[in-house]
């Protein structure tokens, strides 16, 4: 399994802080307590991993999503490869509260560690704090949380993911080069309140704002979803006939948009260009076929780095506050070499 280079950012978290998790309840908070009835006021230590260690995994739910499936498979597959006891209960609806319930179930089950892919920042951050209070070390993957609520190195060990702001900025920079700084853009945002949507929008919009010849005509969420992308495109694009580019926050929405354009008698790549984020196999093929002009990579294969990190933490090693992928950009000039590793 090939991973892009990972860089360490931020301050170091150390485990085994004496007195952080002991018989004295420093929090005074209600909620679930740890295995021996304690409440932890900072990062709980872990004993070295064994096959009996229970690691809970709370993936966010998405109705459609090649990225999400690749991410889940990477984590479930890596746990199996290393012989770990992964407690994974897939979601059933895309409501953030449903993910909250699944996190609470694993806190109540007193798992030894938790891996969480947060649906959004607002709803999930308090659950990270709740897990820490219950003396369960949390490893966040993919999307981030609100660090004013859940603090890295205190409430959770680390975030293993992609720099979403950089992904948006890379996409904008590609578009600026391609159009010599002239474009009218419709932006399809991901799930409202998710760090992926917030960060990508921030990175992209900031770069575009520096270009006097570029304008974002409208920006609307289509929830990172194929069907919603299709439906929003049908409703939105006829209102903006001068738009010549679409920025879609993920490949799934791009697939829906391509379909909607066809239904409107238009061809992506001819009548309007699409720039996207992810790097799925289908998206990469669309780049090769000229239907998507550019894709900024968001590598979902976090399984190996996640379990390396959990192992290190359980041995008492220092862990950086975040471990971020370095993402690449793909267009017609380099897509052929990427296609074999696309997910
Ligand atoms: O958080 C990562 C994003 O979530 C991926 O870009 C997307 O495909 C998924 O829905």
The per-residue DSSP string of 112-173 comes to SEEEE--S-HHHHHHHHHHHHHTT--EEEEES---TTTS-BTTTBSEEEEE-HHHHHHHHHH
Please indicate, yes or no, if residue 143 is contained in any of the structural domains: yes
DSSP state of 223: T
- The residue from 133, 156, 179 where one domain ends is 156
Distance from the alpha carbon of residue 300 to the mean position of ligand 1, in angstroms: 8
pLDDT band at 6 (very low <50, low <70, confident <90, very high): very low
The pLDDT of residue 18 is above 50? no
302 Cβ closer than 6 Å to some ligand 1 atom: no
Residue in the structure block whose two tokens are 């909620």: 31
Distance from the alpha carbon of residue 190 to the mean position of ligand 1, in angstroms: 8
Residues 147 and 189 grouped into a single domain: no
Burial grade of 192 (CB within 10 A; 0-12, 13-18, 19 or more): exposed
The predicted model gives 15-42 an average pLDDT of 53
278 Cβ closer than 6 Å to some ligand 1 atom: yes
Q: Is 64 helix (H, G, I), strand (E, B) or coil?
A: coil
Atom of ligand 1 at shortest distance to CA of 190?
A: 10
Q: Is 322 helix (H, G, I), strand (E, B) or coil?
A: strand
Distance from the alpha carbon of residue 71 to the mean position of ligand 1, in angstroms: 9
CA atoms within 13 A on the CB side of 280: 20
Distance from the alpha carbon of residue 224 to the mean position of ligand 1, in angstroms: 7
Residues 243 and 336 grouped into a single domain: yes
pLDDT by residue (tens digit) across 35-89?
A: 667 899 999 999 999 999 999 999 999 988 999 999 999 999 999 999 999 999 9
CA 255, CA 211: separation in Å to the nearest integer? 28
Please indicate, yes or no, if residue 136 is contained in any of the structural domains: yes
- The residue from 156, 184, 212 where one domain ends is 156
Please indicate, yes or no, if residue 1 is contained in any of the structural domains: no
Atom of ligand 1 at shortest distance to CA of 195?
A: 1
Residues 18 and 72 grouped into a single domain: yes
- Residue of 187, 156, 132 whose CA lies nearest to 309: 156
Identify which of 252, 253, 282, 302 to mutate to test ligand 1's pocket (most ligand atoms within 8 A of the CB): 252
Size (the chain), residues: 343
The pLDDT of residue 15 is above 70? no
* High-pLDDT (> 70) share of the chain, %: 90
Q: Which element (helix H / strand E) includes 324?
A: strand 319-325
Q: For residue 31, what pLDDT is reported? A: 55
pLDDT band at 229 (very low <50, low <70, confident <90, very high): very high
Residues 192 and 77 grouped into a single domain: no
Distance from the alpha carbon of residue 36 to the mean position of ligand 1, in angstroms: 37
With beta carbons less than 8 A apart as the criterion, state whether 129 and 122 touch.
no
Distance from the alpha carbon of residue 234 to the mean position of ligand 1, in angstroms: 22
Please indicate, yes or no, if residue 247 is contained in any of the structural domains: yes
The whole model's pTM is what? 0.91
- The residue from 128, 156, 184 where one domain ends is 156
Q: Would strands 214-221 and 113-116 be described as parallel, antiparallel, or unpaired?
A: unpaired
Residues 35 and 129 grouped into a single domain: yes
Write the CB contacts of 95 (distance below 8 Å, at least 6 apart in sequence).
none
Please indicate, yes or no, if residue 322 is contained in any of the structural domains: no
Phi/psi-derived region of residue 111, left when phi > 0, alpha when psi is between -120 and 50, beta in every other case: beta
pLDDT by residue (tens digit) across 263-292?
A: 999 999 999 999 999 999 999 999 999 999
As given in the structure block, the two tokens for residue 149 are 């609520």
The predicted model gives 245-261 an average pLDDT of 98
Identify which of 196, 199, 280, 325 to mutate to test ligand 1's pocket (most ligand atoms within 8 A of the CB): 196
Distance from the alpha carbon of residue 67 to the mean position of ligand 1, in angstroms: 6
143 Cβ closer than 6 Å to some ligand 1 atom: yes
Residues 92 and 117 grouped into a single domain: yes
252 Cβ closer than 6 Å to some ligand 1 atom: yes
Residues 24 and 152 grouped into a single domain: yes
Residues 106 and 209 grouped into a single domain: no
Residues 176 and 151 grouped into a single domain: no
As given in the structure block, the two tokens for residue 162 are 């992609």
**What CATH number is given to the structural domain containing 27?**
3.40.50.2300
Atom of ligand 1 at shortest distance to CA of 277?
A: 6
Residues 47 and 134 grouped into a single domain: yes
Q: Out of 21-30, 64-73, 197-206, which region has the weakest mean confidence (pLDDT)?
A: 21-30
The predicted model gives 117-129 an average pLDDT of 98
Residues 61 and 198 grouped into a single domain: no
245 Cβ closer than 6 Å to some ligand 1 atom: no
C-alpha distances out from residue 196 to 179, 219, 268, Å:
25, 15, 24
Q: For residue 34, what pLDDT is reported? A: 60
Q: How many domains does the chain have?
A: 2
Q: Is the dihedral of CA 105, 108, 112, 113 positive or negative?
A: positive
Identify which of 61, 63, 65 to mutate to test ligand 1's pocket (most ligand atoms within 8 A of the CB): 65
Atom of ligand 1 at shortest distance to CA of 194?
A: 1
Please indicate, yes or no, if residue 304 is contained in any of the structural domains: no
Residues 152 and 41 grouped into a single domain: yes
As given in the structure block, the two tokens for residue 114 are 């938790």
pLDDT by residue (tens digit) across 306-336?
A: 999 999 999 999 999 999 999 999 999 999 9
pLDDT band at 33 (very low <50, low <70, confident <90, very high): low
Q: What is the average pLDDT value for the chain, to the nearest integer?
A: 91
99 Cβ closer than 6 Å to some ligand 1 atom: no
With beta carbons less than 8 A apart as the criterion, state whether 323 and 160 touch.
yes
Please indicate, yes or no, if residue 105 is contained in any of the structural domains: yes
- CA angle 258–260–265, rounded 5-degree value: 95
Please indicate, yes or no, if residue 321 is contained in any of the structural domains: no
Which structural domain, as residue segments, surrounds residue 216? 164-299+330-341
Buried b or exposed e, range 86-106, using 16+ CB within 10 angstroms: bbbeebeebebeebbebbbeb
As given in the structure block, the two tokens for residue 317 are 């090693």
């Amino acid at each position: 399994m090939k991973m892009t280079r990972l860089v360490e950012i931020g301050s170091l978290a150390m485990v085994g802080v004496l007195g952080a998790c002991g018989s004295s309840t420093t929090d005074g908070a209600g909620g679930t307590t740890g295995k021996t009835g304690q409440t932890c006021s900072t990062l709980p230590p872990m004993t070295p991993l064994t096959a009996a260690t229970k690691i809970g995994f709370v993936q966010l739910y998405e109705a459609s999503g090649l990225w999400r499936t690749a991410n889940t498979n990477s984590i479930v597959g890596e746990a199996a490869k290393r012989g770990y006891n992964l407690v994974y209960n897939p979601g059933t609806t895309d409501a953030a509260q449903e993910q909250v319930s699944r996190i609470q179930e694993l806190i109540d089950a007193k798992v030894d560690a938790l891996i969480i892919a947060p649906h959004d920042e607002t709803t999930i951050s308090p659950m990270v704090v709740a897990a820490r209070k219950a003396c369960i070390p949390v490893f966040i993957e993919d999307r981030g949380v609100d660090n004013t609520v859940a603090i890295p190195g205190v409430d959770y060990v680390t975030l293993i993911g992609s720099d979403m702001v950089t992904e948006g900025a890379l996409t904008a920079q590609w578009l600026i080069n391609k159009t010599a700084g002239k474009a009218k853009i419709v932006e399809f945002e991901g799930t409202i309140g998710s760090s992926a949507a917030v960060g990508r929008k921030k990175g992209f919009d900031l770069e575009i704002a520096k270009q006097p010849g570029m304008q974002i005509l409208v920006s609307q969420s289509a929830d990172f979803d194929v069907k919603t992308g299709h439906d929003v495109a049908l409703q939105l694009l006829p209102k903006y006939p001068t738009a010549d580019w679409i920025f879609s926050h993920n490949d799934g929405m791009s697939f829906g948009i391509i379909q909607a354009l066809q239904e409107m008698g238009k061809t992506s790549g001819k009548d309007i260009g699409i720039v996207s984020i992810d790097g799925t196999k289908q998206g990469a093929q669309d780049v090769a076929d000229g239907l998507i002009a550019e894709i900024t990579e968001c590598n979902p294969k976090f399984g190996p780095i996640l379990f390396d990190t959990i192992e290190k933490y359980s041995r008492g090693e220092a862990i950086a506050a975040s471990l971020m992928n370095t993402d690449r950009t793909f267009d017609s000039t380099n897509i052929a070499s990427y296609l074999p590793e696309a997910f």
